[in-house]
């Protein structure tokens, strides 16, 4: 750097110092004072900076650091709390998952058990179907064998017939009128032979007045009597009112032949109209054992409330022609 006339500034500095450090007595008081002031100013500036650092800057910096540390600690605590919460949540989810897995296992086990039971049931069902089919076939065979599957020695088709009816047994009209050009109608009295025919439709019966009556049946052959069967019309067809004329209490007597005046008591029985349509009753063995009977008498003692008449739809006699032998009829009647 140069001034006018080409004089360099650096060349002027020594001159400046020389001029300032000169004095009239030859002692550079002015220079000393100037340096002393400069040193004093420097000392004051250092002391002022140190004082500022001790009293203002360092507390402020410490405060900032404390705040930052507090903030970091609170943030750490918050993060720790959040971590703990997440950990607990994960633990709860894990427990729920374990519970769901256990429940699923139980359901799978129950399904397996159900499958095993179902397979066993299907196996037993296949066996049961065979048994049921055999039972149904057997029941149909019995039903086709005159509905009970027992030989009837009193049946009209087997040679049975009506020997007599008692004097106090008066036939009752069955309301089957004979009409002559719709001018004259006559009620036909019921026939006792109806009880020997295999038909129990409503009206196909022997009806007699009152609630007591006696009918003697001649069997197709002399037999050892094991039991009798009394049948009535189906309750489904005649209803409860129609069942009022059904026989209730009755007795059975056996006669060897027409010359047997007293007969043999075979038992006293009750027909339950609320039970099966055809009911079989075994005879008293002590009275019928080792005896052959050619006639059997049915004595009706009461009915189920019809005071006007009583209906007998079917009366059957079961037994065997030979004495002392067993058979299916005896088994059914016992």
Question: What mean pLDDT do residues 241-259 have?
Answer: 93
Question: What mean pLDDT do residues 128-140 have?
Answer: 62
What distances in angstroms separate CA 195 from CA 136, 153, 170, 294, one per listed residue? 28, 13, 15, 17
| Assigned architecture for domain 156-333 | Sandwich (2.60)
What the block records as the tokens of 44 is: 């004051």
pLDDT, greater one: 47 or 87: 47
pLDDT tens, residue by residue, 313-326: 999 999 988 765 55
Q: What length does the chain have?
A: 334
Residue 241's pLDDT is: 86
Burial class (CB in 10 A: 0-12, 13-18, 19+), 158: middle
pLDDT, greater one: 125 or 159: 159
Contacts of 31 (CB under 8 A, 6+ apart): 17, 20, 21
Q: Tell me the average pLDDT of the chain.
A: 78
Specify the pTM.
0.56
Domain ranges of the chain: 1-101, 156-333
93: confidence class by pLDDT, cuts 50, 70, 90: confident
User: Over the Cα atoms of the chain, what is R_g?
Assistant: 65
Among 57-61, 64-68, 161-165, 258-262, where is mean pLDDT lowest? 57-61
59: confidence class by pLDDT, cuts 50, 70, 90: low
With CA atoms as reference, report the closest residue to 217 among 238, 239, 234, 192: 192
Contacts of 156 (CB under 8 A, 6+ apart): 193, 196, 197
pLDDT > 60? residue 143: no
- The beta strands (E) that lie in 232-313 are given as 249-255, 264-270, 278-282, 293-300, 309-312
pLDDT > 60? residue 159: yes
In a 13 Å sphere around the CA of 305, the CA atoms on its Cβ side amount to 6
Residue 306's pLDDT is: 93
């Amino acid at each position: 750097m140069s001034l006018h006339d080409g004089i360099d500034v650096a060349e002027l500095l020594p001159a400046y110092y020389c001029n300032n450090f000169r004095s009239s007595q030859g002692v550079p008081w002015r220079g000393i004072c100037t340096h002393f002031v400069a040193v004093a100013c420097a000392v004051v500036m250092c002391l002022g900076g140190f004082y500022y650092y001790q009293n203002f800057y360092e507390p402020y910096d410490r405060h900032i650091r404390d705040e930052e540390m507090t903030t970091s600690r609170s943030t750490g605590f918050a993060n720790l709390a959040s971590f703990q919460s997440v950990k607990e949540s994960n633990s709860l989810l894990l427990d729920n998952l374990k519970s769901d897995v256990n429940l699923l296992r139980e359901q799978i086990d129950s399904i397996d058990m159900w499958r095993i039971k179902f397979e066993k049931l299907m196996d037993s069902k296949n066996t049961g179907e065979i048994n049921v089919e055999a039972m149904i076939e057997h029941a149909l065979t019995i039903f086709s064998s005159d509905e009970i599957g027992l030989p009837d020695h009193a049946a009209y088709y087997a040679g049975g017939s009506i020997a007599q009816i008692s004097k106090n047994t008066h036939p009752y009209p069955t309301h089957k009128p004979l009409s002559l050009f719709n001018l004259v109608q006559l009620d036909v009295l019921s026939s006792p032979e109806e009880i020997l025919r295999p038909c129990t439709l409503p009206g196909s019966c022997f009806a007699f007045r009152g609630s007591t009556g006696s009918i003697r049946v001649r069997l197709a052959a002399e037999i050892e009597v094991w039991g009798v069967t009394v049948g009535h019309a189906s309750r489904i067809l005649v209803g409860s009112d129609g069942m009022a004329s059904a026989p209730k209490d009755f007795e059975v007597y056996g006669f060897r032949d027409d010359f047997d005046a007293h007969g043999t008591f075979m038992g006293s029985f009750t027909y339950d109209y609320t039970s099966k349509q055809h009911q079989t009753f075994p005879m008293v063995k002590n009275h019928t054992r080792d005896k052959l009977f050619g006639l059997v008498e049915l004595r009706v003692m009461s009915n189920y409330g019809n005071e006007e008449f009583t209906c007998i739809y079917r009366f059957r006699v079961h037994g065997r022609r030979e004495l002392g032998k067993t058979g299916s009829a005896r088994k059914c009647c016992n």
